[in-house]
Amino acid sequence: MESQHLSENRFKFHGKTDEYFGIWIVNVLLSIVTLGIYSAWAKVRNKQYFYGNSELAGERFEYLAKPLQILLGRIIAVVMVVIWAVSPMVSEILQAVLMLMFVAIMPVLVVKNLRFDSRVTRYRNVRFDFVGSYGGAYMALMVMPFLAMVIFGLVATLLVGIGSVISPVVSGILGVLVFAIGGTYFYAFMATYMSRYVLNNYQWGSMKFTADIESAAMFKIFLKAAAVGLGGVIALSLLGALVAFALFSADFSQLGAMFASLEQGGAEDLAAGGALVGIFALIYISFFLLGWFVTAYLKACLRNYQFGQTDIEGQLFMVSSVKPLAFMGVMLSNMLIIVFSFGLATPVAKVRMAKFMAQATAVQGDIESIAINNQVSDSKTAIADEVADAFGVEIGVI
């Protein structure tokens, strides 16, 4: 690939935990004191800190949203939620209708949210933009998933039906296969469609993003994650059996006796009870870690693939090299940090994650010279876009 000869510009995150802690805790304090009103300012300061400390090719990013826009959006959102909450007093049907209306305008809100977020982001004096159409959003978020589901349902029924003509066993096996593989493919297909829509509609100034997302490649990633999960479960079960075998020297009656003594309130056999609890805890934790790893693996692979397929006007190439194991390590330790500090060490976790993600992200190409051709596209920020943001309508493509 040509891009290998291109220079690589790695992202850098310059934020510091102690500095951010001050910002974060003052945000929390003022939000509490102002009964949440300050949270709009808090959001802007947070974002500004993270954007402003993210460096690419010697330049920082900027976050340009105005707190008042966000506050207004939040007020509108709260009013709407209150209306929805009191609507059953008028009639139950009204509430259902409102709910349906919300679902119906969901894609519009998603587009507005993506647009708002990109338009308030600036790099080298040029704003980003999202130019996806509403029609495209309805296609990607509603029509295609619906069609895919109908087709999947029909194919599955047909195959299982044909199988049942041959024999119930064949039908059963077919059913499992269709739902495991077909279901995975269905999911990969939807994810492909959605990320295609989102990634291909970003712009940096007048320069367009292009992402060549293949459903086959996405399917492979999902299958691999499933295989890792399945393999892990089998390996852990074998290991568990082995440990049990070694511990009880092939005498499983001991294990039975242990259970029996516990059932009879065998307080006298404390050691046995302790060992048993230890074994169960170990099994529990290892399955936990496995699940955690599969999640990290899937997230990392998807990000790496999607970034790898994305370029800007064929001149700048996105690179993501998140290592699943390291990613899991950061997620895991962050979660422990947050839980054991009752949330007070959140800044530590956020800065760590930002550093990790920056390190794993790069852009190939000569940004400096390509930037010369980049002009600001016409981007006016509408307040309406913020309404979507206030609802937190986001789709997790990346």
Contact at 8 Å (CB) between 387 and 73?
A: yes
Report if residue 187 touches another protein, rule: CB under 8 A. no
Residue 172: count other Cβ atoms within 10 Å of its Cβ: 13
Distance, first Cα to last Cα, the chain: 24
Restricting to residues 354-383, which ones interact with another protein according to CB under 8 A? 371-372, 374-376
* Pairwise CA distance, residues 135 & 16, whole Å: 43
Report if residue 289 touches another protein, rule: CB under 8 A. yes
Report if residue 342 touches another protein, rule: CB under 8 A. yes
Report if residue 335 touches another protein, rule: CB under 8 A. yes
**Identity of the amino acid at 287:** F
* Pairwise CA distance, residues 302 & 187, whole Å: 13
Which of residues 3, 98, 102, 124 is near another protein by CB under 8 A?
124
Report if residue 37 touches another protein, rule: CB under 8 A. no
Report if residue 29 touches another protein, rule: CB under 8 A. yes
Contact at 8 Å (CB) between 111 and 137?
A: yes
Which of residues 339, 366, 382, 398 is near another protein by CB under 8 A?
339
* Pairwise CA distance, residues 346 & 226, whole Å: 31
CB of 206 to another protein, least distance (A): 10
Report if residue 331 touches another protein, rule: CB under 8 A. yes
Report if residue 267 touches another protein, rule: CB under 8 A. yes
Choose the binding region for another protein from 107-115, 133-141, 161-169, 283-291 (rule: CB under 8 A): 283-291
Query: Residue 47, Cα to own-chain centre: how many angstroms?
Result: 18
Choose the binding region for another protein from 181-189, 250-258, 284-292, 307-315 (rule: CB under 8 A): 284-292
Report if residue 62 touches another protein, rule: CB under 8 A. yes
Choose the binding region for another protein from 144-152, 159-167, 234-242, 334-342 (rule: CB under 8 A): 334-342
**Identity of the amino acid at 313:** E
Q: Quick check: helix, strand or coil at residue 316?
A: strand
Binding residues for another protein, total number by CB under 8 A: 54
Contact at 8 Å (CB) between 106 and 393?
A: yes
CB of 31 to another protein, least distance (A): 10
**Partners of 8 in beta bridges:** 364
Q: In what order do the strands lie in the sheet with 316-320?
A: 8-10, 361-364, 316-320, 310-312, 207-211, 202-204, 126-130, 121-123, 59-63, 54-56, 12-13
CB of 269 to another protein, least distance (A): 8
Nearest to 347 by CA among 6, 10, 28, 4: 28
Choose the binding region for another protein from 110-118, 218-226, 233-241, 335-343 (rule: CB under 8 A): 335-343
**Identity of the amino acid at 51:** Y
* Pairwise CA distance, residues 92 & 85, whole Å: 11
Report if residue 167 touches another protein, rule: CB under 8 A. no
Choose the binding region for another protein from 1-9, 81-89, 248-256, 282-290 (rule: CB under 8 A): 282-290
Unique residue bearing structure tokens 């002009």: 375
Nearest to 384 by CA among 76, 141, 38: 76
Report if residue 49 touches another protein, rule: CB under 8 A. yes
Task: Select 242 or 339, whichever has its Cβ closest to another protein.
Answer: 339
Restricting to residues 219-238, which ones interact with another protein according to CB under 8 A? none
Task: Select 257 or 384, whichever has its Cβ closest to another protein.
Answer: 257
- Token pair of 184 as six digits: 């995975």
Which of residues 159, 344, 357, 384 is near another protein by CB under 8 A?
344
Report if residue 304 touches another protein, rule: CB under 8 A. no
Which of residues 39, 53, 121, 310 is near another protein by CB under 8 A?
53
Task: Select 142 or 330, whichever has its Cβ closest to another protein.
Answer: 330
Q: What is the DSSP string of 5-40?
A: GS-EEE-EE---HHHHHHHHHHHHHHHHHTTTTTHH
**Partners of 310 in beta bridges:** 211
Report if residue 180 touches another protein, rule: CB under 8 A. no
Query: What is the contact surface with another protein in residues (CB under 8 A)?
Result: 15-16, 19-23, 25-26, 28-29, 32-33, 45, 48-49, 52-53, 59-60, 62, 123-126, 205, 262, 265-267, 270, 273-274, 284, 288-289, 291-292, 294-295, 331-332, 335, 338-339, 342-344, 346, 371-372, 374-376
